[in-house]
Structure 1
């Protein structure tokens, strides 16, 4: 029996406009504030399930795509309750590993990942009349991809397929353009006022880094929750970035009397998720990740405590690592979170940051396509027939570098061919509902270790085990088999799903096979339809002593093989106190870890701690070298390596896996070209001082630098960069004959540098004219010019030798800076204008020095005096 009293929701007024928009063009953007019924009422109306009245429409089959499993299940159950039915009757749902639908299901709620799988199997979506993409503002990669595929379907195959992009807060104009100028239908919600209370921490808080959140902030959040309970009525919904932070805050709230503390996240048991969406008997504190930002209302919430953080995917291309990272939540997320407090009545949001910071927050969350690992997206695009994704209608184009990296991975695992098209193997990988790396590991390991064992280890890798399971993958596997916690339950379910995928090599592209062999009709008895019993123990306990002796034992061998197949570039060899991955990233193993001492590891999860130069191994398995060689065979190379190291040419024959050296032996007859390249490498690293620079060579280089600056062509640039660029012209043939550092030291740089003089134009003969090495001064002496500063050469000469000279000397038209020296050779004055010095500066110098050097001439008029190198006595003779 339909609950009409609960169907009187604000979005109902927008239904006529939405139907008109769909009738006219087949697509629409629906913008409806939180709590208006967008997620529950609209799909029922579009399917014609609301009975008689203005909202009743033609009978249609509707698929609703939600970004998260918790939202998909909750939405389906809520819609079924509104119809007075149970899930699986008129309304059903399909998520990974679970399908609850019946023969009469008209509205099916799926995750966007399931929708993608369905589109790849049946591009026409036969039997589906309307697709609703809910919460599209979150910009998850699967949702963006599904939208692009659906637009392709509408354009090429089924123009009658209707498409609705729905969200509470979104870039409506952008989605309207993407949907071909689709109209925007807005629903006015009943908005209850939400008071904002700014509660920044009193103590300084370190900004988030990677997965790390300052414990000071979490302690502050817990205190704000206590304050909110004391100051306001109703339940409290507290937003935190991840499971670890939820557990820490829950621990600090464990002593609350009469208050139930619930922890809600994607890994939470279904019973807890259901409890959150039902009214509580007493006051509740709901600690949640961003899964609670959107979709259904959490009843009873009047207060929101927002820590201001969120988790987003990031790829560290330099280290070959991808993971979630903690960031400041966007302004849009802040509005969405605050709106949770005003769904049912006026509420309050406590924001754990200063009001002045709010304007500096990003407006929207980063689109996942811009920051995430695109390997799975690239495989989806290849299977769709557009390997470059250039023809897909996307709000944001995928970054070129990330797509290139993704295609490289797909080619290495055999998912695409040389043209980027999906292979048969790649298509099968895409239908497993796994990241392509894990799909590769499942398919390649199953024939060797059995589908059961391969599926169990891949299930562990598809959802990282709890921290308490430890960093040893094989030990975590045993813990999951023994465990009775929520994670172990999800692991068993996922292992069952993957076991079927590993053995069903000829799975037909049927629409009712989206998620798993677990799927069943809603009316089937519980425990049937592939439920089965939990997987029993597989493999064997380790029999070796220590990590080094475990690689060949049952569990370790299997776990190591699967992890190595999934992440071959993270195979790591022990080196000193750390290990070096095939990718070139160095990683440390935690103190006291059972993995320490293993010569080889297959690293499944690694991160980089704050301020650390190395990554940190979070989850890995012990492997032997044979397994490493097999799993990373495409990364194996062998050949001559000649390079500059430790100050000289090193020539070796090396076998390696990526950056990891497997075997090395000296190379006696290295290729001369490789040796020459190594010598050039040495010259770049250590400088041109490796060749012999005599005093004459240094002078020649400075003279040429002076002429290049003041005269220009054809005089050459002799800077380090320029000489490196023209090494073939001036260091040959000496460089080709050299074999080691000592040979470079025997090369006469001056003789080599002379090759760069402009001989062809004849200007080389003017070198001494334009930049003479010495010039004659009035006394007759020939004094060396110092070209050390190419801006202005220096002539250092005794003052008495310049008597009678009225103008400063010039070279290449540039006045020389004259350093006038005392009879003892010490600087007495510096000038570039001799006439001015004789007139204004000489008197002071004469007064100071004539008493100190009385034997030398100090005429009153130096401009007319006779220059001399000698004393007065010598002159009288």
Structure 2
């Protein structure tokens, strides 16, 4: 590794769990004299960052904060002597934004990069750009337990790749799926109890147990079940991100003599984190996966099966110090069906904060960054739209002055907007407590593990008087340079002030009651609130937190405030829009116009009796066409044939750049080709008389119209002087649009009496011979006798039978024995010269 380090500035290290990537390597690097600067190592989780820093510092016989320190949100232990900093991912992004040259930094290590957290992907992209443009002496090391599905080589094609087998021990796997009809948590409790008491597993029972669960709720439920079943000698230790450092250390560290522990953990224990003494892993196989819904602007939580890669990571925790044992609560067959790797967060997450980072960096799209995976376009679009709505970026996606201040605060852009606008209003109106209240609300919204007091955020204000929320509120007060007592702000807080502040952060989540169906938010989303909640029967709300879950049509409100409607006339008047909408009243058979006063998609008031303007009538007419289709127009056979002819020309003579005239395209472009020509139309009856054929034909230039008549003619000149009509037929798909296939590419059918086709040796062709015309040969009475696209074969075969049958029926007409060498006629034999 050291040799590669001295030869290459980009390294990729693949090593399994327990190989010492997170601890042994950075510890060794501290002794390398060639590293002239600080080492920054990213850990995806705060628990792991603290734990790794403490472990390495202990190996050096030092306290954390000397040679080895850490930075996580809300907790920093570093000094001017710190040479190795363990940081969480977002910290690095801030460091680069603050100092793009990363002065004093020699190495950046991305640990567990395979987990694909959103801040990791962003930090990695920024670090690569810094290395390529400003710091070619900077070394970047990407470390992963597996490179499967990880496109590192795309961004680091010249990187040196190093593999290590590590020092892990064998782990025996046992599959024990949950029986049907039994809750899986009950099954998991039974499996843990059976496993720790199974005499046949004594070789694994000298250590402790690590159980993986999807979240805090399941951990607490399982803890209660286990305490009912197990002896008091067992310590039940939850482990998740919301716990205090002391509680996390209790789960991670060695147990006291005579005790064994069962650690109930989320994904926080999947990698990097070393939990002492684990020899048994019980894996539920579930994870809580957050998936952003761009339609509603919220993240939907769902219980998902883990990937095969995640299962390997989890089971490997049992084999770090000795042979281990892993029970998987699913079948071996199902294991083979699990996805190979987890989806990266950038494909699933809300991207507003990342967009603000992007704008701060000077990029206008995510594609300008060297990202491992491109985000969904709609997710990125929603993020930029929200930033512009909050006035943090301009239409060109450049940071505004407010945006620069928001980025400096380091919280979610929604909350940053609320804090900064509150400070502005507080200053203008001499209301200092308003900004303190904004800090309190932001602290509550960002807090984890709030007690259950209903949905009204007013009930949680006193939570800001202690603990981590108080610490965070004080930090924002310091950042905003505002003073004020929290207790005073809480006691003076009014519903009007609270709802106003929340609306600054969530203008798209103002909700109006809709009877028994909950509330309609201004972004068009439906939400519900518990029937017994104090806010359930309010006419208006502003929602700070709601969640969508699988199997539910509407999101569940968790934090909100009653909204004072008077705000629409004053403080929130900028959110109110007024527009006149016109339409066609089907029942009354007339046009109408209404003035809608709206907040987003919520209609506050409707004013009727307004005389429709010309633009409203035109818009209503076009809306009727969109609703009822082109048949509402004078869409005659000539127009349909024109569409068919142009489509054939587009297929067989595409070099002439023909316009698209399909129904779908015409419907999509109504405003262009129909709108300007119905300015004098005031009724549906008049609309039905519009010359639709002429309007559509004018989509073709004069040269194209002339060329179309040559290539795809409407008639064919016969030797008799007759202009025989050609009708075109096209295959249609399920939507009624044209399509071409090898089997059916459409056809041209020429209808003419058989006697007028005499003398033709072959069927005519069009489109420079690319399409053979199908002949529909008619009797003297204009009834079909035969249809053929091969006239030569018809004369030689089927014609003989037609001649026999028709001679007796039409004796006065010509039925020659040699039709190819007979002159065509449109008369009877008596009137035909030479007969």
Q: Do the two structures share a fold, i.e. TM-score over 0.5?
A: yes
Correspondence for 2:189: 222
1:316 equivalent to 2:293? Answer yes
Q: CA 1:307 to 1:355, structure 2 compared with 1: closer, same or farther past 3 Å? A: same
Correspondence for 2:459: 475
Name the SS for the 2:53 alignment partner.
helix
Alignment of 1:311-350 (within 5 A): 311-350=288-327
Q: CA 1:644 to 1:107, structure 2 compared with 1: closer, same or farther past 3 Å? A: farther
Correspondence for 1:31: 14
Determine if contact 2:175/2:331 at 8 Å carries over to the other structure: yes
| Counterparts of 1:750 and 1:652, CA distance in 2 | 34
How far is the alpha carbon of 1:31 from its aligned partner? 2.6
| Counterparts of 2:614 and 2:162, CA distance in 1 | 73
Q: CA 1:148 to 1:690, structure 2 compared with 1: closer, same or farther past 3 Å? A: closer
Correspondence for 2:622: 680
Normalised by the size of structure 1, how large is the TM-score?
A: 0.72
Correspondence for 1:260: 235
Determine if contact 1:63/1:107 at 8 Å carries over to the other structure: yes
| Counterparts of 2:29 and 2:539, CA distance in 1 | 61
Correspondence for 1:364: 341
- Uncovered stretches (5+) of structure 1, i.e. residues with no partner: 1-16, 49-54, 205-214, 483-487, 506-531, 541-552, 771-786, 794-812, 819-829, 841-860, 866-877
Correspondence for 2:508: 569
How far is the alpha carbon of 1:67 from its aligned partner? 1.3
| Counterparts of 1:112 and 1:291, CA distance in 2 | 14
Correspondence for 2:531: 591
Deviations 1:674-730 (A, max 9, x none): 312212212321346667x9xxx98999999999999999xx999965885797999
Q: Is the deviation greater in 353-362 or in 746-755?
A: 746-755
Deviations 1:566-586 (A, max 9, x none): 221111222334322111222
- Uncovered stretches (5+) of structure 2, i.e. residues with no partner: 654-658, 717-728, 732-745, 750-772, 779-784, 789-796, 802-807, 813-835
Q: CA 1:413 to 1:633, structure 2 compared with 1: closer, same or farther past 3 Å? A: farther
How far is the alpha carbon of 1:630 from its aligned partner? 6.6
| Counterparts of 1:730 and 1:129, CA distance in 2 | 63
How far is the alpha carbon of 1:217 from its aligned partner? 3.1
Name the SS for the 1:562 alignment partner.
helix
Correspondence for 1:809: none
Alignment of 1:455-854 (within 5 A): 455-466=439-450, 468-478=452-462, 480-481=463-464, 489-503=467-481, 536=487, 538-540=489-491, 554-576=493-515, 577-627=517-567, 635-644=575-584, 649-666=591-608, 668-687=610-629, 735-739=678-682
How far is the alpha carbon of 1:672 from its aligned partner? 1.5
Correspondence for 1:848: none
Correspondence for 2:389: 412
1:156 equivalent to 2:139? Answer no
Alignment of 1:4-19 (within 5 A): 17-18=1-2
Q: CA 1:60 to 1:816, structure 2 compared with 1: closer, same or farther past 3 Å? A: closer
| Counterparts of 1:755 and 1:107, CA distance in 2 | 73
Q: CA 1:569 to 1:178, structure 2 compared with 1: closer, same or farther past 3 Å? A: same
Determine if contact 1:569/1:632 at 8 Å carries over to the other structure: no
Determine if contact 1:459/1:494 at 8 Å carries over to the other structure: yes
Name the SS for the 1:469 alignment partner.
coil
Deviations 1:138-196 (A, max 9, x none): 11121222222223333333333333222333459843553462322333311211111
How far is the alpha carbon of 1:60 from its aligned partner? 4.8
Correspondence for 1:802: none
| Counterparts of 1:368 and 1:362, CA distance in 2 | 15
Correspondence for 1:823: none
How far is the alpha carbon of 1:255 from its aligned partner? 0.5
1:240 counterpart (202, 205, 213)? 213
Determine if contact 2:92/2:123 at 8 Å carries over to the other structure: yes
Deviations 1:334-392 (A, max 9, x none): 11111111111111221222222223322222222222222211221222233334443
Determine if contact 2:302/2:550 at 8 Å carries over to the other structure: no
How far is the alpha carbon of 1:103 from its aligned partner? 4.2
| Counterparts of 2:396 and 2:285, CA distance in 1 | 45
Normalised by the size of structure 2, how large is the TM-score?
A: 0.75
| Counterparts of 1:243 and 1:60, CA distance in 2 | 40
Name the SS for the 1:147 alignment partner.
helix
Deviations 1:72-96 (A, max 9, x none): 1111222222222322233222211
How far is the alpha carbon of 1:408 from its aligned partner? 2.2
Q: CA 1:769 to 1:117, structure 2 compared with 1: closer, same or farther past 3 Å? A: closer
Aligned residues: 745
2:248 counterpart (270, 273, 283)? 273
| Counterparts of 1:238 and 1:275, CA distance in 2 | 16
Deviations 1:227-255 (A, max 9, x none): 33233423221112222222233333230
Deviations 1:13-34 (A, max 9, x none): xxxx23x222223332233322
Determine if contact 2:454/2:534 at 8 Å carries over to the other structure: no
| Counterparts of 1:574 and 1:135, CA distance in 2 | 46
Correspondence for 1:145: 122
Name the SS for the 1:539 alignment partner.
helix
Determine if contact 1:557/1:623 at 8 Å carries over to the other structure: yes
Deviations 1:635-667 (A, max 9, x none): 543232224576664412222222122332136
Determine if contact 1:454/1:558 at 8 Å carries over to the other structure: no
Q: CA 1:423 to 1:708, structure 2 compared with 1: closer, same or farther past 3 Å? A: closer
| Counterparts of 1:77 and 1:651, CA distance in 2 | 70
Name the SS for the 1:275 alignment partner.
helix
Deviations 1:462-519 (A, max 9, x none): 23554723222222334x257xxxxx633222222222222279xxxxxxxxxxxxxx
| Counterparts of 2:693 and 2:533, CA distance in 1 | 60
- Tell which has more relative contact order, 1 or 2 (C-alpha 8 A, sep 6+): 1
| Counterparts of 1:21 and 1:689, CA distance in 2 | 73
Determine if contact 2:298/2:350 at 8 Å carries over to the other structure: no
How far is the alpha carbon of 1:273 from its aligned partner? 0.4
Determine if contact 1:539/1:554 at 8 Å carries over to the other structure: yes
1:68 equivalent to 2:45? Answer yes
| Counterparts of 1:679 and 1:601, CA distance in 2 | 37
How far is the alpha carbon of 1:70 from its aligned partner? 0.9
Alignment of 1:80-479 (within 5 A): 80-170=57-147, 174-175=151-152, 178-179=155-156, 181-203=158-180, 216-231=183-198, 232=201, 233=205, 234-258=207-231, 259-280=234-255, 281-446=258-423, 447=426, 449-466=433-450, 468-478=452-462
Q: CA 1:347 to 1:675, structure 2 compared with 1: closer, same or farther past 3 Å? A: same
Q: CA 1:661 to 1:742, structure 2 compared with 1: closer, same or farther past 3 Å? A: farther
Name the SS for the 1:559 alignment partner.
helix
| Counterparts of 1:266 and 1:347, CA distance in 2 | 26
How far is the alpha carbon of 1:744 from its aligned partner? 5.6
1:40 counterpart (10, 19, 23)? 23
| Counterparts of 2:696 and 2:110, CA distance in 1 | 70
Q: Is the deviation greater in 676-685 or in 249-258?
A: 249-258
| Counterparts of 1:83 and 1:709, CA distance in 2 | 78
Q: CA 1:172 to 1:742, structure 2 compared with 1: closer, same or farther past 3 Å? A: closer
Determine if contact 1:97/1:497 at 8 Å carries over to the other structure: no
How far is the alpha carbon of 1:293 from its aligned partner? 0.5
How far is the alpha carbon of 1:735 from its aligned partner? 4.8
| Counterparts of 1:503 and 1:427, CA distance in 2 | 16
